[in-house]
Structure 1
Amino acid sequence: MRLRTTLAGLALAIATVHANAETIRVAIGTQDTTINCATGGLLIRELGLLDKYLPKDGKYEDVKYEIEWKNFTSGAPLTNEMVAGKLDFGAMADFPGSFNGVAHLDAGKRSLFLTVLSGSIRGSGNGIVVPASSSVQSLAELKGKTISVPFASTAHGMLLRAIAAQGWDPQKDVRIIAQPPEIAGSALRSNRIEAHADFVPFAELFPNRGFARKIYDGSQANAPTFHGALVDAEYARKYPEVVTAYLRASLEADRLFAESPEHYSELIEKVTGIEAEVNYLFHGPLGLQTRDLTWKPEYRKALATSIDTLKLLKKTDRGLDVDKFVDDQYIRAAFKQAGRDYDKALADYQPLPLKAVDALTGQPITDFKRLAQIWVRGENKVRHYASPEAALKALAALEQEGKDIRAIYAQAADSGIKLLANQAWFVRNGKGELAAFLLKDQAEAYAQQHGGTALDFVSANQNQALAQR
């Protein structure tokens, strides 16, 4: 009888402990279609990585976690829910991230920018497109035209810098209107807008779908841009180990993507509908952007610039101390736990590298300046070629075999950025070698200076076919 009483008392004590155990909410706002945020949201969620790293010992031994995910199409509504206390973490770009910091201060709170997730120190990722049928080939031809853009976005900042570089007055020389990407896509299809500026991935997604053409890349403005992850500052103070765990999950997602970019590009397509070839264009080897979880000086500068631009747009009159807003202690802790050297990564500016052999010759590719790639639908790996002309030769054979070509890529000869080859311009020199360019005027200038002929993709392909006969 006494034993039963003792066991019953022990069971009651255990039940009481569990009943009194703390429940910690981990509420994360994601932007699934903004593929730069994938390693801070979509991939963590889809692969169940957060559970792997959440602390379960010490003061967290009896904790119950309630993990909540909410997806957004832009940063502004995500920020609203963070300020309202409905979310603890959020992933967004530099401009909406700056506004997140300001909005928290206006509400008597603070948010912290924890880490970069992906970006470009040159600004690639943002871009300007025109309808596919438009005769416009460059930004210079848009004077007096109407350009739409998601207001107060990182693309808006890029557009204003691009207009300033032309020496134009944004109030007089162009008409800028607010338009989110989902509306802009329809407007471009029906030629109801003359040009549209947008962020990742829409300046590449719309051309890939065939109803738009890219005429400006953010790298031409040479202004750094990035997407990253934020947290409520009070939450971070209370649960620093949880914040570090979230970043450990992000590091894991980044590592997995680097190991199998095609596979995870297809997973992103499955979740978002954004084609895998566009995801790979950004985040595969030598892609448009670099997945980088370190606070490079260029990204800190991008934040300062975005705050100044928000003031210019009269979206805020409040300043934001970047040195206090950016808090790298948590990402440094995550790197240390993962056995990685943060300072070494901080000094590394290289994009995701590529170790590959030419799919035609089997020889290792050592010079990637003229790299070209083909992704055949149904194949789980992209094929690599040492030159655009080699890729076009292979393309002809693949098409004769009836293969469905998912995408063709080329590296720009001037900027080095990855291009959708079927949207690019080429210069063929006297040796029959092809050099790729984003814009017609870039190709023509190169041809005039170095000799050769500027060709669009169809003409380059036809020329290559004739050269092979």
Structure 2
Amino acid sequence: MEHRKAWIVAVVSALVAALGGCGGGASAGETVPVVVGYQSRTINTVTAGTLLRSLGYFEKRLAELGARTGKKYTVTWRDYDTGAPITAQMIAGKIDIGSMGDYPMLINGSRTQKLSDNRTEMVSVTGYNARGALNMVVVAPNSTATSLVDLKGQKVSTSVGSAAHGTLVHALSDAGLNPVTDVRTENQQPSVGASALQAGGVAALSQFVAWPGQLVFAGQAKPLYDGGALNVPTLHGVVVRRGFAAEQPDVLDAFLSAQLDATRHLWAHPLAAAESVARDTGLPPEVVYLYNGRNGMVTFDATVKSEQRAALRGDLPFLKSIGNLDDLDVGSFVDDGALRRVYGGSYDADTRRTDNQARIGGADPVCQRPVTDPATAGETWLAGEEDTHPSATPTCLLRFVKSAQAGGKRMRAAYVPDALTGTRWFADHAVRVTDPAAGPDTHLLPFTTEANARRYLAAHPGATELDYPTALAQA
């Protein structure tokens, strides 16, 4: 009889344990695996990828969660070159949370929308540029092309279906070219396209961050088209499998809280964050800081803004036209409910903010004035120094660089905003214009491309173009 009672108790206990685990994830004492897909070298996703991983904030948040639930949480990080394999793994149920760009996110949502547990939703933004400057078209340093019109009849490398491809198509159309018949698009991974550009196999390369900056910094390319001229937001963000979010809402909350932790860390320590990402990716720190630094080309902000929702809806026709997705209801795909839950009471107000909270400030040491205007502020990174030097205007920055060089100091990099689009760029790779009517501290104006400079020259008859050494001398 006692043996029979013991057997019944064992069976009932097993049933209770099994029922307790249905639909609710692991029970106390069990292990919950979490798989995160990210792109280490796509540096505008670092707050949900490379930087977040290196800081250990997600694991810390999960440890705190485990102390409350009695469960153990294990994180597996999987690094990919693009968003496409992350989407494939999410469809297969092998990745729970992923970060990628706007076009790949829309393709992700479209390809999973008919699934059940593996249907995905976008839950946060990582980084964005309000004008679309994260995508650029670059050409070889010795190219004679000065505008997109010069690419007619030429081969252009891009990754078909990416935001960089979208930028290329829209920019060519705006320039009066037919993107299908007037240029030959070569569908290539960024690294393959970069090699093709250097070998002369293509006339231009249209790619996303960080490829344009990396190639220009290495002296292997120069910008032909600044994506900021489109004035259409481009962004990256986080997607999650809905089944996972339903089963493990606390884990999703922990991830989004950790993303906010990493974002605030980047705001407070942008140079250290850039150096950390550089170590983990092999990218030059000066290139990472171009995008992820103070007043960087990437604004890191997890909130989902109305302008970004509109931009995603505006991206759909292009992706449908090239057969990369079926229709997608962006309104149901984008769900920032979990982010609101962990963010706090300022969420709605912060969705209306568009300023970069990692900003250049302080006092200009040469022009002796506060550095307050992001439209003109720049900074210089000198070798052997632990922080950058702010400048109120590009003219003031050139004076600082000239003074530093006279003192025997070497410049690692200097950054200035394009006077037309605001795109942050390398000061020594910018196209320079002098405009005497602009004033003594503002007359030396930088532009990312020859096309942008020509637009300014056309509107300011007294202005003239000059090279960087001449601009430095005139400062």
Structure 1 residue aligned with 2:240:
231
Structure 1 residue aligned with 2:348:
343
Q: 1:155 aligns with which of 154, 161, 164?
A: 164
Q: Does 1:460 align with 2:460?
A: no
Distance (whole Å) between structure 2 residues aligned to residue 303 and residue 387 of structure 1: 34
Q: Is the 8 A contact 2:434 2:465 kept in 1?
A: yes
Q: Is the 8 A contact 2:378 2:416 kept in 1?
A: yes
Which has the larger displacement, 148-157 or 278-287?
A: 278-287
Which has the larger displacement, 89-98 or 406-415?
A: 406-415
Structure 1 residue aligned with 2:23:
none
1:361 Cα deviation (Å)? 5.1
Distance (whole Å) between structure 1 residues aligned to residue 399 and residue 27 of structure 2: 69
Structure 2 residue aligned with 1:407:
413
TM-score, with structure 1 as normaliser: 0.90
Distance (whole Å) between structure 2 residues aligned to residue 299 and residue 380 of structure 1: 35
Tell me, what secondary structure is at the counterpart of 2:376? coil
1:121 Cα deviation (Å)? 2.4
Structure 1 residue aligned with 2:8:
none
Distance (whole Å) between structure 1 residues aligned to residue 412 and residue 397 of structure 2: 14
Distance 1:171 1:365, change over 3 A: closer
Pairing 1:205-354 to 2, within 5 Å after superposition: 205-316=214-325, 318-336=326-344, 341-352=346-357, 353-354=359-360
Q: 1:97 aligns with which of 85, 88, 105?
A: 105
Which has the larger displacement, 378-387 or 257-266?
A: 378-387
Which has the larger displacement, 60-69 or 123-132?
A: 60-69
Structure 1 residue aligned with 2:388:
382
Structure 2 residue aligned with 1:8:
none
Q: Is the 8 A contact 1:226 1:299 kept in 2?
A: yes
Structure 1 residue aligned with 2:71:
63
Structure 2 residue aligned with 1:51:
59
Structure 1 residue aligned with 2:457:
447
Q: Does 1:434 align with 2:444?
A: yes
Distance (whole Å) between structure 1 residues aligned to residue 238 and residue 300 of structure 2: 13
Q: Is the 8 A contact 1:55 1:245 kept in 2?
A: no
1:178 Cα deviation (Å)? 0.5
1:148 Cα deviation (Å)? 0.7
Structure 2 residue aligned with 1:87:
95
Deviations 1:350-373 (A, max 9, x none): 123332111335542234433232
Q: Is the 8 A contact 1:440 1:454 kept in 2?
A: no
Distance (whole Å) between structure 2 residues aligned to residue 242 and residue 142 of structure 1: 49
Structure 1 residue aligned with 2:206:
197
1:456 Cα deviation (Å)? 2.6
Q: Does 1:30 align with 2:30?
A: no
Structure 1 residue aligned with 2:195:
186
Deviations 1:63-83 (A, max 9, x none): 111110010110001111111
Distance (whole Å) between structure 2 residues aligned to residue 59 and residue 48 of structure 1: 17
Provide the aligned length of Structure 1 versus Structure 2. Answer: 446
TM-score, with structure 2 as normaliser: 0.89
Distance (whole Å) between structure 1 residues aligned to residue 71 and residue 351 of structure 2: 34
1:150 Cα deviation (Å)? 0.9
Deviations 1:220-269 (A, max 9, x none): 12222100001100000111111011000000100010011111111011
Q: Is the 8 A contact 1:158 1:223 kept in 2?
A: no
Structure 1 residue aligned with 2:10:
none
Distance (whole Å) between structure 2 residues aligned to residue 168 and residue 176 of structure 1: 13
Distance (whole Å) between structure 2 residues aligned to residue 463 and residue 360 of structure 1: 15
Tell me, what secondary structure is at the counterpart of 1:54? helix
Q: Is the 8 A contact 1:55 1:242 kept in 2?
A: no
Structure 2 residue aligned with 1:144:
153
1:106 Cα deviation (Å)? 5.0
Q: Is the 8 A contact 1:370 1:435 kept in 2?
A: no
Q: Is the 8 A contact 1:26 1:88 kept in 2?
A: yes
Tell me, what secondary structure is at the counterpart of 1:161? helix
Stretches of structure 2 lacking an aligned partner (at least 5 in a row): 1-12, 21-25
Distance (whole Å) between structure 1 residues aligned to residue 370 and residue 109 of structure 2: 48
Q: Is the 8 A contact 1:122 1:222 kept in 2?
A: yes
Distance (whole Å) between structure 2 residues aligned to residue 437 and residue 324 of structure 1: 40
1:414 Cα deviation (Å)? 1.7
Q: Is the 8 A contact 2:435 2:444 kept in 1?
A: yes
Distance (whole Å) between structure 1 residues aligned to residue 249 and residue 63 of structure 2: 10
Residue type at the aligned position of 2:375: K
Distance (whole Å) between structure 1 residues aligned to residue 298 and residue 160 of structure 2: 22
Structure 2 residue aligned with 1:4:
none
Q: Is the 8 A contact 1:75 1:93 kept in 2?
A: yes
Tell me, what secondary structure is at the counterpart of 2:310? helix
Q: Is the 8 A contact 2:361 2:390 kept in 1?
A: no
Deviations 1:170-225 (A, max 9, x none): 22111111111111222222222100100111122211111000111212122221
Distance (whole Å) between structure 2 residues aligned to residue 106 and residue 458 of structure 1: 58
Distance (whole Å) between structure 1 residues aligned to residue 249 and residue 414 of structure 2: 44
Distance (whole Å) between structure 2 residues aligned to residue 376 and residue 47 of structure 1: 26
1:345 Cα deviation (Å)? 0.6
Distance (whole Å) between structure 2 residues aligned to residue 276 and residue 102 of structure 1: 36
Distance 1:445 1:27, change over 3 A: closer
Residue type at the aligned position of 1:92: M
Stretches of structure 1 lacking an aligned partner (at least 5 in a row): 1-12, 465-469
Structure 1 residue aligned with 2:5:
none
1:462 Cα deviation (Å)? 3.5
Distance (whole Å) between structure 1 residues aligned to residue 458 and residue 317 of structure 2: 40
Distance (whole Å) between structure 2 residues aligned to residue 436 and residue 59 of structure 1: 54
Tell me, what secondary structure is at the counterpart of 2:297? coil
Tell me, what secondary structure is at the counterpart of 1:262? helix
Distance (whole Å) between structure 2 residues aligned to residue 57 and residue 407 of structure 1: 42
Residue type at the aligned position of 2:415: Y
Distance (whole Å) between structure 2 residues aligned to residue 45 and residue 262 of structure 1: 17
Distance 1:60 1:116, change over 3 A: same
1:458 Cα deviation (Å)? 2.9
Tell me, what secondary structure is at the counterpart of 2:298? coil
Distance (whole Å) between structure 1 residues aligned to residue 348 and residue 197 of structure 2: 44
1:58 Cα deviation (Å)? 9.0
